């Protein structure tokens, strides 16, 4: 065997390994969703019991005058003893009518609503929360603390469904299912977010209940026992943009369980523009960088105290966090195989994309069953969630003769060798390129054509590619040492009530 042949063989092996890395997130997603049906038997309901502790609700608010009044009104309509509820709105030096709205509600609900004013604000949500938590802990009245956002609406039975888990002293915190709840101004993006939340919460977090480790308490719907709050320091972490994730990890590291309650529904207003979503998710993604680095000593180190170090949890965490890198690396591997051994490259491509198609169908069907109402309403966006081009690529992998020979033949076209090679290369590198298309959607949104061009680009590239592009941007921001800022998502009160 000559040197050139050896080098080619080594190149094929390296490219094969790179290409097959694309199976990691596919297998991780399928395995995670495979555990969901076991939630019918492996859950916390056996230890839950009717329990109505005195709950202090802390609401950080900055310029929330448009939404805070309705949120308080809905909280007072919760199916929960009014004498066991106190609402503390921590006003972060608002410049609108937020304090006036809260004072009005305090007059309507004496003893239940309290305004805590910060004269110097702008330090971020965690600092605002800590101002309220410190004052609340000075009083012995509070037995459980609910952290929520100013714009969310809790359905009447939601708090009662959450507190029942605190009847078990082993549980430190409980999270609810936050749903996209806009009743006006809904568009293609809020519909995609609705689908995303179905897959990431009632579906994926059920699986985390089964696996015994929760990745993140919902920032706008997290309930803590007083004991747990004190155990984690009596405050929220202020050194990161992922204070809710750090709180979740710290709770479990202290030996307490974190439980997701899928039947406690909380409605939230989510961004209706790509730029607003980008800023929100960039904050989340950069926070996850901090979390990954801070807890480097727990990854893949099983512990008797918690399950965060389990291999299952670690693989799921890193397959999501590194998904953009995996997408790029896998495409490089496929392109390399095409150059070195096109026949082998075709086989690997089909393995990857057929696996992805089957996993997607499995995740889609099983995830949809966890919130059939939402998925029925957003069926079109469920089907288009991966993007039109990705769906076509899946069809090429599943039915190559149909897509590359029969369909072109219907239009009187024949793909010759060079054309087919270029098309194949384009298909192999499409996944990382789709992130560029998603970024272009954000850029185009600021132009006159943005009203129709941005949605068209997202439909083509896929909502998942948009999220990956944001995560990739977080890598660049971290490498550049860019300032990590708390960019508040603007809310205008589009959330409607639900009984």
DSSP secondary structure string for all residues of 357-372: HHHHHHHHHHHHHHTH
Q: Tell me the average pLDDT across 451-463.
A: 96
Tell me which range, 322-331, 362-371, 479-488, is most confidently predicted by mean pLDDT.
322-331
pTM: 0.91
Angle of helix 450-461 versus helix 388-398 axis, rounded to 10:
30
Tell me, what's the pLDDT at 486? Answer: 59
Mean pLDDT within 6-28: 90
The average pLDDT across 17-33 equals 93
Q: For residue 124, is pLDDT > 80?
A: no
Q: Is residue 489's pLDDT more than 70? A: no
The SS3 of residue 345 is helix
pLDDT value for 143: 97
User: How do the domains of the chain map onto residue ranges?
Assistant: 1-34+295-488, 47-272
- Give the three-state DSSP class for 32: helix
Give the number of residues written for the chain.
499
**447 φ, ψ to 5°?**
-100, 175
| Rounded CA separation 366/307 (Å) | 24
Q: Is the pLDDT of residue 466 over 70?
A: yes
State pLDDT tens for residues 83-99. Answer: 999 999 998 877 888 88
Tell me the mean pLDDT in the region 463-492: 82
From CA 78, how far away is CA 49, in angstroms rounded?
18
CATH class of segment(s) 47-272: alpha beta
What φ, ψ does residue 120 adopt, rounded to 5°? -115, 110
**Which of 138-142, 214-218, 401-405, 412-416 has the weakest average pLDDT?**
412-416
Query: pLDDT digits over 347-369, tens only?
Result: 999 999 999 999 988 998 898 88
**pLDDT at residue 241 in the model:** 81
Residue 182: exposure state from Cβ atoms within 10 A (0-12, 13-18, ≥19): buried
Contact present, 291 and 245 (Cβ < 8 Å) = yes
DSSP string, 293-322: HHTTTTTT---SS-STTSHHHHHHHHHHHT
| Structure-model confidence comparison of residues 490 and 295, the more confident one | 295
Residue 48 reports pLDDT greater than 50: yes
- pLDDT tens for each residue of 153-176: 899 999 999 999 999 999 999 999
User: Would you state the pLDDT for residue 491?
Assistant: 53
Q: What is the DSSP string of 60-119?
A: EESS-TTTHHHHHHHHTTSSS-GGGEEEEEEEES-SSSHHHHHHHHHHHSTTTEEEEEES
The rounded distance, in Å, linking the Cα atoms of 256 and 291 is 19
How many CB atoms neighbour CB 89 within 10 A? 28
Q: In sequence order, what are the beta bridge partners of 268?
A: 180
Round to whole Å and give the CA distance between 138 and 419.
73
Tokens found for residue 411: 């239009």
């Amino acid at each position: 065997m000559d040197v050139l042949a050896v080098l080619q063989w080594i190149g094929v092996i390296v490219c094969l390994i790179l290409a097959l890395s694309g199976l990691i997130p596919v297998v991780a997603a399928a395995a995670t969703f495979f555990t969901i049906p076991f939630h019918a038997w492996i859950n916390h309901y056996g230890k839950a019991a009717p329990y109505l502790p005195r709950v202090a609700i802390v609401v950080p608010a900055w310029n929330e005058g448009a939404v805070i009044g309705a949120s308080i009104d809905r909280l007072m309509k919760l199916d929960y003893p009014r004498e066991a509820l106190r609402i503390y709105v921590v006003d972060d030096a608002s410049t609108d009518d937020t304090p006036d709205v809260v004072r009005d509600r305090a007059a309507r609900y004496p003893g239940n609503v309290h305004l805590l004013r910060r004269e110097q604000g702008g330090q971020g949500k965690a600092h605002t929360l800590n101002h309220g938590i410190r004052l609340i802990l000075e009083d012995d009245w509070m037995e459980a603390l609910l952290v929520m956002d100013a714009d969310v609406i809790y359905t009447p039975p939601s708090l009662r469904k959450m507190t029942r888990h605190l009847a078990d002293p082993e549980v430190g915190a409980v999270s609810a299912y936050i749903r996209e709840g806009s009743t006006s101004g809904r568009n293609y993006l809020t519909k995609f977010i609705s689908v995303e939340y179905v897959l990431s919460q009632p579906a994926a977090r059920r699986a985390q209940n089964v696996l015994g480790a929760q990745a993140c308490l919902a920032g706008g719907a997290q309930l803590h026992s007083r004991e747990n709050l004190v155990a984690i320091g009596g405050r929220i972490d202020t050194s990161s943009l992922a204070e809710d994730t750090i709180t979740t990890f710290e709770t479990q590291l202290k030996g307490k369980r974190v439980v997701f309650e899928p039947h406690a529904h909380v409605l939230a207003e989510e961004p209706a523009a790509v730029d607003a979503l980008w800023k929100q998710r960039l904050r989340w993604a950069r926070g996850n960088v901090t979390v990954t680095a801070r807890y480097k000593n727990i990854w893949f180190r099983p512990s008797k105290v918690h399950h965060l170090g389990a291999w299952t949890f670690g693989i799921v965490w890193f397959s999501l966090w590194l998904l953009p890198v995996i997408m790029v690396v896998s495409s490089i591997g496929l392109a390399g195989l095409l150059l070195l051994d096109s026949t082998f490259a075709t086989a690997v491509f089909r393995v990857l994309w057929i696996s992805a198609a089957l996993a997607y169908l499995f995740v889609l069907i099983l995830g949809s069953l966890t919130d059939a109402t939402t998925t029925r309403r957003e069926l079109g966006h469920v089907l288009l969630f991966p993007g039109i081009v990705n769906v076509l690529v899946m069809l090429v992998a599943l039915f190559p003769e149909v897509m590359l020979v029969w369909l072109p033949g219907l239009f009187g076209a024949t793909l010759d060798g060079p054309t087919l090679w270029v098309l194949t290369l384009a298909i192999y590198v499409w996944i990382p390129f789709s992130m560029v298309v998603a970024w272009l959607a954000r850029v185009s949104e600021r132009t006159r054509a943005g009203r129709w061009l941005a949605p068209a680009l997202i439909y083509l590239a896929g909502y998942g590619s948009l999220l990956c592009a944001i995560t990739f941007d977080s890598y660049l921001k971290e490498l550049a040492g860019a300032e990590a800022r708390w960019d508040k998502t603007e809310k205008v009160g589009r959330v409607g009530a639900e009984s």
